[in-house]
Amino acid sequence: DSMASSEDHSHGDDNIPKPPPLPRITYKRFQASSAKPSSSSRLVPKETVETWEKLFKEGIGADAFVVTDNYSYFPAHSCVLAAASPVMATLLDQSRGKNGKPYLKIPGVPCEVVYT
């Protein structure tokens, strides 16, 4: 009994921890600061972005096509499109052009928009 009474701290505020400090940045300020990442805070290395752009522009290893409204064709990588969207994966599986390659037709979208 004497041990229980010596550990009884219910009569004081000794066991209540201090609250954590208030955040230094508000959520709205965080959103505003993270809305436009600068090139210095880019998560993907510049060399990787350049490689992706080269794959897109030159069509290296492309195994599919994206077809726009005015029948402009762009080489594409079906694995990248399929990984980005299960809907695109299904559309690519269901479509084959005359050359046997899958294609993704995007009606109502001009080629300039797809290429950018």
Instruction: Give per-10-residue mean pLDDT for the chain (116 aa).
Output: 50 68 58 55 84 88 88 88 92 84 85 74
Going along the chain from its start, the domains and CATH numbers come out as: 62-116 (3.30.710.10)
Supply the pLDDT for residue 87.
92
Rg (CA), the chain: 28
Supply the pLDDT for residue 90.
92
| Burial class, 77, CB count within 10 angstroms (exposed 0-12 / middle 13-18 / buried 19+) | middle
